[in-house]
Structure 1
Amino acid sequence: MQSFGTLSFGHYGPLGGGRELTAGDSLKQAIDLAQGMDELGVNGAYFRVHHFARQQASPMPLLAAIAARTSHIEVGTGVIDMRYENPLYLAEEAAAVDLISDGRLALGVSRGSPESVVRGYETFGYTGSEDPRGADLAREHFDLFLRAIDGEGLAESDPHSPFGGGQGLQRIEPHSPGLRSRVWWGAGNRDSAEWAGRMGVNLMSSTLLTSADGRPFDILQAEQIDAFRTSWREAGHAGTPRVSVSRSIFPITTAEDAMYFGGRSDGDQIGIIDGMRSTFGKTYAGTPDELVEQLQHDAAVREADTLMLTIPSQLGVAFNLRLVESFARHVAPSLGWVPTNAVATA
């Protein structure tokens, strides 16, 4: 494991006891938490994207705000649902955030996860999918998005325009060189991981896999990662792609930690998602020494270069920053992590 960060679902709403976390609270707390993690030397702050839900839905303003308030930390998504996206507008936004952050964007995109609404992307105006889950639409949008960030000319210049604009086909602006190398595809099965390898983008391996053959989740995920890297090499892409996995990991160092997470360690779970039997990864909760022992035996964590910790963002900045700091100081170094600055080891 070379780097780690947090993966936030960005939930907001009633907290109980008459308290409520508003959408504004959630966004501002995300900025404050990322700033604190930047000072600790944590590598990334990543956000889930869901529509028609009390979660993050339009991440680009948030990522730009975090980028402007930080110096080192990677800002990213895990993942943007491409069924809902205008690929050219997303290309413009992504390039802008990448430029603001000096190349610190990690843009995770995919078909998206099951929703709380029926074919919500059609409400956004994106129709015509022949797949009941919209996978064809997502990949069509993704293809155009990649062409746009690669700088391909897509619109014919108007020679009569009073604003000039050159000749021939024009690319979208702004353009951020190198952004292509910072695009990730979120994959929930082996086939989509192999497709990502052929496309030459990085891999965000999902928190679940649509496979359930009795083997542990980490073994299934490690095989998916290996298939992705093999596909990348066979496609002839240069360089080494990045691979991330996400885990629910809670170091228990205080009575408060034990109250929230004591007894939460469990085994893999089998469930049905999108009509398919799927394997869900387990939760890790224990003392730092216990976590080190367990994670060193997690095959997929060993294979990935980036680990994303799913965090309980509703518990606030102070709690989550302490949780992350505990992992950074007492667990991550034993997994091979080196902070982006010296603060975490001071």
Structure 2
Amino acid sequence: MTKIGFLSFGHHGEVPGSRTPTAADALRQTVELARAAEDIGIDGAFVRVHHFERQLAAPFPLLAAIAATTSRIEMGTGVIDMRYENPLYMAEEAAATDLLSGGRLQLGVSRGSPEIALNGAEAFGYRPADGQTHADAARAKAEVFLAAIRGAGVAPADPSRTRGRHVALPVQPQSPGLGDRIWWGAGTRATAEWAAAQGMNLQSSTLLTEDTGESFDRLQAEQILRYREAWAAAGHERTPLVSVSRSVIPVTTDLDRRYFGERGEDDQVGFLDGARSRFGRSYVGDPDRIADELAEDAAVREADYVLFTVPNQLGVEYNAHLLRSIAERVAPAIGWAPAGHQVAAAVPSS
């Protein structure tokens, strides 16, 4: 059965109409929205992570707060930029958060998206090694992080404190099962294949940093297919999971119409970081029409988890209204039902 969640960028600032003028507002309202989403029956509360911008930046205190004030909903990221991270300290934070949540953490990591800072990770003290690109550095850190949360010894013990035994110590705490709930945010088909080889789930957003001329949903569906083929070739024992993100605004009230109009936008193609990239369309308008269109979306049909972006600066009440509209009028068409309910007719895979 398909799961659904919301994805918040956590924007904040003194702009006209904003309900999140400060970082404190954005953080507290994200926790409140997670509680509201849980009441609606939604499966996940996910946040974007961006540095040097008026958005969410330090995810673990926020995810722990969501964990402490909810009982069922999963919480996660989409994505943490590994260039900025100490992978062993991050493994400790992730395990502690997962233990507090009772095993509900779904952690998306990646090389990160284009950013406002010039070599921002270097300001944090992290510079790629000689011959490494920033993408290489992010992947190397991800491999260390994965090994750490899976219990590998990562630091030599002092033999004088271990009765002469030369052993490698794992980080603590450990949270069993967390290693199966790490997702790699892949922007290309090739990086999706790399994620499969590492045993990570696939997280694919509304942007692919490549373009073949195919529609976004078909290109993304090809990415998912290649990911699953690479997973099978790697011989992993468990079944992998795939998530995609979509921008969806069901228009059911005059306020919706004033904010967003009646129609969304088609795919867009442009250059990002020097690469020809394809941006996915936005779905705006009548919820029944959106439901029909999403049911035909080639990548949505292949996904295990669909994340819906929310305009967080419009406040908790408005975003809860949007999520309720999605849950009641749109998500059933893609094979979703609230926790504890049976799906009447799930959408078949293409």
2:179 aligned partner: 180
CA distance in 1, matches of 2:241, 2:257: 34
Inter-CA distance 258–132: structure 2 relative to 1 (3 Å threshold): farther
Pairwise CA distance, 1:39: 1.2
2:118 aligned partner: 118
CA distance in 2, matches of 1:31, 1:302: 30
Q: What is the correspondence of 1:218-233 to structure 2 with a 5 Å cutoff?
A: 218-233=217-232
Pairwise CA distance, 1:341: 4.5
CA distance in 1, matches of 2:60, 2:216: 32
TM-score, length-scaled by structure 1: 0.95
2:5 aligned partner: 5
Pairwise CA distance, 1:19: 7.5
2:347 aligned partner: none
Are 2:317 and 1:322 aligned? no
Unmatched runs of 5 consecutive residues or more in structure 2: 342-350
Are 2:271 and 1:272 aligned? yes
Inter-CA distance 260–176: structure 2 relative to 1 (3 Å threshold): same
CA contact (8 A) 1:204 1:244 kept: yes
CA contact (8 A) 1:208 1:279 kept: yes
1:310 aligned partner: 309
CA distance in 1, matches of 2:18, 2:223: 45
Q: What is the correspondence of 1:19-58 to structure 2 with a 5 Å cutoff?
A: 21-58=21-58
Pairwise CA distance, 1:264: 4.1
CA distance in 2, matches of 1:236, 1:309: 32
TM-score, length-scaled by structure 2: 0.93
SS of the residue aligned with 2:50? coil
Using the TM superposition, name which of 285-294 and 79-88 deviates more.
Answer: 285-294
CA distance in 1, matches of 2:103, 2:295: 31
CA distance in 1, matches of 2:321, 2:262: 20
CA distance in 1, matches of 2:274, 2:143: 27
Q: What is the correspondence of 1:253-292 to structure 2 with a 5 Å cutoff?
A: 253-292=252-291
Are 2:100 and 1:100 aligned? yes
CA distance in 2, matches of 1:19, 1:177: 39
> Per-residue CA shift, 1:62-113, capped at 9, x if unaligned?
0000011111111000000000000000000000111111110000000000
SS of the residue aligned with 1:13? coil
Q: CA RMSD in A?
A: 2.0
CA distance in 2, matches of 1:180, 1:270: 35
2:136 aligned partner: 136
Are 2:171 and 1:168 aligned? no
CA contact (8 A) 1:157 1:169 kept: yes
CA distance in 2, matches of 1:274, 1:131: 20
CA contact (8 A) 2:201 2:241 kept: yes
Are 2:298 and 1:299 aligned? yes
CA contact (8 A) 1:196 1:202 kept: yes
CA distance in 1, matches of 2:199, 2:157: 30
> Per-residue CA shift, 1:188-234, capped at 9, x if unaligned?
00000011111111000122112222210000000000000000001
Inter-CA distance 19–107: structure 2 relative to 1 (3 Å threshold): closer
Pairwise CA distance, 1:16: 1.7
Aligned residue identity for 1:227: R
1:201 aligned partner: 200
1:64 aligned partner: 64
SS of the residue aligned with 1:137? helix
SS of the residue aligned with 1:337? coil
Are 2:85 and 1:76 aligned? no
CA distance in 2, matches of 1:139, 1:155: 20
CA distance in 2, matches of 1:252, 1:125: 46
Pairwise CA distance, 1:293: 1.1
Aligned residue identity for 1:272: F
2:238 aligned partner: 239
Pairwise CA distance, 1:131: 6.9
Pairwise CA distance, 1:286: 1.2
CA contact (8 A) 2:189 2:226 kept: yes
Aligned residue identity for 1:43: D
CA distance in 2, matches of 1:18, 1:8: 15
Pairwise CA distance, 1:24: 0.3
CA distance in 1, matches of 2:227, 2:3: 19
CA distance in 1, matches of 2:18, 2:281: 32
Are 2:189 and 1:190 aligned? yes
CA contact (8 A) 1:245 1:308 kept: yes
CA distance in 2, matches of 1:319, 1:146: 38
Aligned residue identity for 1:181: D
Aligned residue identity for 1:329: E
CA distance in 1, matches of 2:263, 2:131: 37
Indicate the percent of aligned positions where both proteins have the same amino acid.
Answer: 55
Aligned residue identity for 1:134: H
CA contact (8 A) 1:268 1:282 kept: yes
CA contact (8 A) 1:130 1:136 kept: no
CA distance in 2, matches of 1:115, 1:160: 47
Pairwise CA distance, 1:18: 9.4
2:346 aligned partner: none
CA distance in 2, matches of 1:78, 1:317: 20
